[in-house]
Chain A
Amino acid sequence: MAKHVELKNHLREIFYFRLRLAISIGFVLLLLATLLARFIYLQAVRHDHYQTLAESNRISIVPIVPNRGLILDRNGVVLAHNYSGYTLEITPNKTPNLEATIGELSALVEITPKDRKRFNKLLAERRNFETLMIRNRLTDEEVARFAAQQYRFPGVEIKARLFRDYPYGTKTAHLIGYIGRINQTDVEQLEENDLAANYRGSDYIGKTGLEQSYESELHGATGVEQVEVDSGGRAVRMLSRTPPSSGNTLVLSIDAKLQEIAEQAFGNFRGALVAIDPGNGEVLAFVSKPGYDPSLFIDGIDTQSWDELNNSPDTPLNNRALRGQYPPGSTIKPFMALAGLHYNTRSPSYTIGDPGYFTLPGSSHQYRDWKKGGHGSVDMFKAIVISCDTYFYSLATEMGIDNIFNYLTRFNFGKKTGLDLEGETSGLLPSQEWKMKRYQQKWYAGDTVSVGIGQGYNLVTPMQLAYATATLANNGVGYKPHLVREVRSSRSLENRLIEAKPAFDLQIPTAHLDLVKRAMTAVTQPGGTAAQAAAGAPYRMAGKTGTAQVVGMKQGEKYDASKLDERHRDHAWFIAFAPAEQPKIALVVLVENGGHGGSTAAPIARKVMDYHLLGKVPQPLPDLSGEWVEEHD
């Protein structure tokens, strides 16, 4: 009986399944009928319409590339703009014999081996059906000569294009950066961000500097033209047009003149300078020496120039201000002093007797002061003014690395400043945890001693030190540094100002600030380490010199600059702000292998401040690089 029921169920099941199958078949037939109906509609009913569109007058969708936004300094001086010019371009897919074509072309217009090399490079990395430039900046005569012969060259055409130009060239290279041709990596990036449609027709994209970090503002929105083209591909009639909108204009906080003066003040030295308005975080000058010519990169740099730039011992492509990491040396001392006051490790009046060296309890190793024999009795004020190492060795040791780490972190050491440029490095503020992770070693008391005078594991970027100096100048209220002040929209009159918002307030007691600032002011007065550079200034400057060792020295050895290879000389630092009472500018100067902060870095700072505060333009400078003054910070 049970068997019978099961069998019956089985038959029923088959019946239901077949029913469902029949419904499925009906469903598929419906889908097929839908397609068939659509095909009949498109290919029979509306065929004439589509035939017209496709055959006699094909619709071509032409992207119209927007003008790239300008970059201006704070006073409206142009730092990046576009100019129009003619280029000769080849579409390789439409050109039967490339080599022969180029050969014949060179009879009409001048094609240098450099042009050919660049073309071959473009050819190697081209995208499908792209037109590639063989010559740029054609003269009117060359344009006329080619136009008359154009019929002989299928796939070769003259294009009017906008070119990017950087009037300040080398001087703003690390700041403005450059644009370059869109390569495969860029294409993938754009597709990933769903921006590929807006870059149809665009050949260039920001590669470094502000051109890169503000690419989305500068590029603009691509327009589109629907045109009818005849069978030869020539446009016959325009059907519709959505105009492009130009990229937005960037107005920087940079003062181009100040930038230029700062750049020139370095002479032949390598180094970096960052000047900030401490009251709002606006970067006034941003220099990395040496610079490079950004225009070399726009249409693809040739191998020879690339090798020169890349292999130069001066590393001109390295953005020292943003990415260079150096020991801060004595410039860390004002911050160390604030930490000491904060943790009550030192009172302002506490005095040490300086024998010229420091030893850790139970050790005979001597940590030497820069001055043999020492400075006698030293309190905090004097320790900053004369840059007494012994004082800070003992301060750091008593404070301990944990406190140092915690306090300096608040001044943003060891962290990126968040400047609106890509590629910033974060420096290094060492801690016990870091050393364990990096070296699998515990922290030794001796490590703390060197950190006290900004040597040892400590590394800062000029940008970081500038941020910390500006924060100190502004009484512990930090404004995040930024280069762009305003974004001017091309579409509307609406301008977006980058608002100055305090990022943090360290709430440093006035008494602490007062002491450190007075000491830093005394640094630039007679008896201080930067007295010479500040002499005769009608405003008061607060500052601190520093040197960063490039070569380590053995116990008992004496540093003798004249004996050292130039590239092994110490790096010179100077941090400063002025006027000391109401700072309008805070800056950092780093001179690589410059020796002492007071003699090489501080004079550069003086020139920059003289211009910013007094409008004084320096006289043509004597060449600093040959000069060598034996002096100490």
Chain B
Amino acid sequence: MTRRQLWLRFIAHLDLPLLSGIGLLMLTSLLVLYSADNADWGQALKQMLNITVALTCMWLIANLPLHYLMRTAVPVYMLGMVLLIGVALFGEISHGARRWLNLGVTTIQPSELMKVGVPLMMAWYFEKYEATLTLKNYFVAALLLLMPVALIARQPDLGTALLISASGFYVLFLAGLSWRVMGGLLVAALASAPVLWSMLHDYQRHRILMLFDPSQDALGKGYHTIQATIAVGSGGILGKGYLNGTQTHLDFLPERTTDFIFAVYSEEFGLLGNLILLGLYSFVIGRGFIITANASTYFTRLMAGSITLTFATYAFVNMGMVSGILPVVGVPLPLVSYGGTSMLTLLLGFGMLMSIETHQKLVKT
């Protein structure tokens, strides 16, 4: 085999348009991290390690034929459920919430696994009953979604619970849940809102209330929103320039390498930069939709659609939160915020998208 053949085999299952979009976002991440960390490569270097690990996993998943991927659905989901129940029973409490499971060697957060596990399971389920879908199947699928969501909401980790709900809902929606049922669900959701409110922890209510009046909690969470909005607004059309963000470098911005990294970017690159970033996200999302449209099986269509929509949701929720139109829920900016776990979860999803795209190409030819 020549070197060229080896190379071709290496990239055979990578989707180059998608990879280039992801790559540009990662590059942005490193640049902004350097600035956010006060012109220090420390965080950016660690992020590079995260990226390397995540890309490797993505490559492995992308090379996994689809029927193998489908076969992982049930075990992954089951493992996730066992771990979530484990967390509920023996989890470690940190910051007033029970999210982590101490396995002796390392602590893990099973809700992260479920970000992939839930849509995977639901898509697998719909594929299995594709020929004879009735309302009952939607009901079962909804149950597959609600069980882990309830466990995660109890931890309490409202942000993750909502995001997993969204990714599961996308599967239901794409699987063709009737509009009438969705209308009914919406009414039911509105009706149950007061009950849910009473179940929330004080700090969660506080966060929601604060959305309407951030100045109420100027020393706590409201401070994040106030300072982030100032950062974004003061960036103006062209931004203050790379490494020149005053909010960032005078220490006004909290959590500026993780959840609030978009404020750093927005302050330094302005509206123009934001347009470019939205463009990059749109490109990745658009490519995801194309892959979804081309997908040949029921399972792959649902999976690809859910992954793409979930990615779009993450990006929207984070930027909405930083610019002050959504509450602070602790969602990182996908592919840009510092953090190994979210990077890995996202790239597992993209690996699946690539596998979906490239394996059926081979089937067709």
Q: Which residues of A come within 8 Å of B, CB atoms? A: 13, 16-18, 20-21, 24-25, 27-28, 31-32, 34-36, 38-40, 42-44, 46-47, 49-51, 53-55, 58-61, 63, 129, 191-194, 196-198, 200, 222, 224, 226, 231, 233
> Does B219 reach chain A (CB closer than 8 Å)?
yes
Say yes or no: B176 contacts A20, CB within 8 Å: yes
Say yes or no: A200 contacts B282, CB within 8 Å: no
Say yes or no: B309 contacts A53, CB within 8 Å: no
Interface SS of A by simple majority? helix
Q: From known contacts A47-B236, A194-B203, infer whether A32 and B250 are also in contact, taking CB-CB under 8 Å.
A: no
- Inter-chain CA distance A224–B282, complex, in Å, is 42
> Does B94 reach chain A (CB closer than 8 Å)?
yes
Q: From known contacts A39-B274, A47-B237, infer whether A17 and B219 are also in contact, taking CB-CB under 8 Å.
A: no
B272 nearest CB neighbor, chain A only: A43
Contacts of A44 in B (CB 8 A): 236-237, 271
- Inter-chain CA distance A192–B95, complex, in Å, is 4
Say yes or no: B289 contacts A32, CB within 8 Å: no
Whole-angstrom distance between the Cβ of B290 and the nearest chain A Cβ: 10
* Other 10 A-B pairs with CB < 8 A, given A35-B320, A47-B236, A50-B234: A13-B176, A25-B289, A27-B309, A28-B312, A32-B282, A34-B320, A36-B278, A54-B233, A61-B219, A197-B219
Contacts of B96 in A (CB 8 A): 192-194
B202 nearest CB neighbor, chain A only: A194
Partner of B246 from A35, A54, A63 at Cβ < 8 Å: A54
> Does B225 reach chain A (CB closer than 8 Å)?
no
Say yes or no: A24 contacts B252, CB within 8 Å: no
Say yes or no: A192 contacts B94, CB within 8 Å: yes
Contacts of B270 in A (CB 8 A): 43
What are 13 residue pairs bridging A and B, where the CB atoms are less than 8 Å apart in the complex?
A: A18-B293, A21-B305, A24-B170, A24-B305, A25-B289, A39-B323, A42-B233, A47-B233, A54-B230, A61-B218, A192-B95, A200-B219, A224-B219
- Inter-chain CA distance A384–B293, complex, in Å, is 95
Which parts of B291-327 form the interface with A (CB within 8 Å)? Answer: 292-293, 298, 301, 305, 309, 312-313, 316, 319-320, 323-325
Interface readout for B211-249 with A: 1 if CB under 8 Å, 0 if not? Answer: 000000111110100100111111111000000001100
Say yes or no: B309 contacts A28, CB within 8 Å: yes
Whole-angstrom distance between the Cβ of B356 and the nearest chain A Cβ: 14
Contacts of A193 in B (CB 8 A): 96
Say yes or no: B292 contacts A21, CB within 8 Å: yes
- Inter-chain CA distance A193–B95, complex, in Å, is 7
Say yes or no: A43 contacts B176, CB within 8 Å: no
Say yes or no: B232 contacts A58, CB within 8 Å: no
Q: From known contacts A43-B237, A50-B234, A51-B236, infer whether A192 and B93 are also in contact, taking CB-CB under 8 Å.
A: yes
Contacts of B81 in A (CB 8 A): none
Whole-angstrom distance between the Cβ of A42 and the nearest chain B Cβ: 4
Say yes or no: A55 contacts B305, CB within 8 Å: no
Q: Which 5 A-B pairs have the closest CB atoms?
A: A50-B233, A54-B234, A197-B220, A42-B233, A43-B271
> Does B41 reach chain A (CB closer than 8 Å)?
no
Contacts of B266 in A (CB 8 A): 39, 43
Contacts of B231 in A (CB 8 A): 54
Contacts of B208 in A (CB 8 A): none
Say yes or no: B232 contacts A39, CB within 8 Å: yes
Contacts of A233 in B (CB 8 A): 250
Partner of A21 from B93, B174, B220, B251 at Cβ < 8 Å: B174
- Inter-chain CA distance A54–B239, complex, in Å, is 13
B316 nearest CB neighbor, chain A only: A31
Q: Which residues of B come within 8 Å of A, CB atoms? A: 93-96, 170, 173-174, 176, 202-203, 217-221, 223, 226, 229-237, 246-247, 250-252, 266-267, 270-271, 274-275, 278, 281-282, 285, 289, 292-293, 298, 301, 305, 309, 312-313, 316, 319-320, 323-325
Contacts of A31 in B (CB 8 A): 312-313, 316
B94 nearest CB neighbor, chain A only: A192
- Inter-chain CA distance A107–B184, complex, in Å, is 78
- Inter-chain CA distance A228–B196, complex, in Å, is 40
Contacts of A43 in B (CB 8 A): 232-233, 235-237, 266, 270-271, 274
Say yes or no: B217 contacts A197, CB within 8 Å: yes
Say yes or no: B232 contacts A24, CB within 8 Å: no
- Inter-chain CA distance A191–B275, complex, in Å, is 37
Contacts of A231 in B (CB 8 A): 246
- Inter-chain CA distance A63–B223, complex, in Å, is 12
Whole-angstrom distance between the Cβ of A508 and the nearest chain B Cβ: 44
- Inter-chain CA distance A25–B231, complex, in Å, is 30
Say yes or no: B174 contacts A24, CB within 8 Å: yes
Q: From known contacts A49-B233, A192-B94, infer whether A35 and B219 are also in contact, taking CB-CB under 8 Å.
A: no
Contacts of A194 in B (CB 8 A): 96, 202-203
Contacts of A25 in B (CB 8 A): 289
Say yes or no: A39 contacts B174, CB within 8 Å: no
Whole-angstrom distance between the Cβ of A263 and the nearest chain B Cβ: 41
Partner of A34 from B202, B203, B325 at Cβ < 8 Å: B325
- Inter-chain CA distance A263–B309, complex, in Å, is 73
Whole-angstrom distance between the Cβ of B196 and the nearest chain A Cβ: 20
Say yes or no: A28 contacts B285, CB within 8 Å: yes
Of B233, B292, B319, which is in contact with the most chain A CB atoms at under 10 Å from its CB?
Answer: B233
Partner of A35 from B250, B251, B323 at Cβ < 8 Å: B323
Contacts of B325 in A (CB 8 A): 34, 38
Of B219, B271, B324, which is in contact with the most chain A CB atoms at under 10 Å from its CB?
Answer: B219
A198 nearest CB neighbor, chain B only: B219
Q: From known contacts A31-B312, A50-B230, infer whether A222 and B219 are also in contact, taking CB-CB under 8 Å.
A: yes
Partner of B278 from A32, A42, A224 at Cβ < 8 Å: A32
Whole-angstrom distance between the Cβ of A201 and the nearest chain B Cβ: 9
B320 nearest CB neighbor, chain A only: A35
Contacts of A53 in B (CB 8 A): 230, 233-234
A6 nearest CB neighbor, chain B only: B131
Partner of B174 from A17, A54, A197, A222 at Cβ < 8 Å: A17
A61 nearest CB neighbor, chain B only: B218
- Inter-chain CA distance A129–B251, complex, in Å, is 9
Of A35, A39, A192, A198, which is in contact with the most chain B CB atoms at under 10 Å from its CB?
Answer: A39
Contacts of B232 in A (CB 8 A): 39, 42-43, 50
Contacts of A32 in B (CB 8 A): 278, 281-282, 316
- Inter-chain CA distance A49–B233, complex, in Å, is 8
B278 nearest CB neighbor, chain A only: A32
Contacts of B312 in A (CB 8 A): 28, 31
Say yes or no: A47 contacts B289, CB within 8 Å: no
Say yes or no: B320 contacts A191, CB within 8 Å: no
Say yes or no: B250 contacts A58, CB within 8 Å: yes
- Inter-chain CA distance A194–B217, complex, in Å, is 13
Q: From known contacts A16-B176, A17-B301, A20-B173, infer whether A35 and B316 are also in contact, taking CB-CB under 8 Å.
A: yes
Say yes or no: B293 contacts A21, CB within 8 Å: yes
- Inter-chain CA distance A43–B282, complex, in Å, is 20
Contacts of B95 in A (CB 8 A): 191-192
Say yes or no: A24 contacts B173, CB within 8 Å: yes
Q: From known contacts A28-B312, A43-B274, A192-B94, infer whether A226 and B230 are also in contact, taking CB-CB under 8 Å.
A: no
Contacts of A196 in B (CB 8 A): 220
Say yes or no: B319 contacts A35, CB within 8 Å: yes
- Inter-chain CA distance A418–B94, complex, in Å, is 27
- Inter-chain CA distance A385–B325, complex, in Å, is 81
Say yes or no: A20 contacts B174, CB within 8 Å: yes
Whole-angstrom distance between the Cβ of B89 and the nearest chain A Cβ: 20
- Inter-chain CA distance A40–B232, complex, in Å, is 10
Whole-angstrom distance between the Cβ of A1 and the nearest chain B Cβ: 17
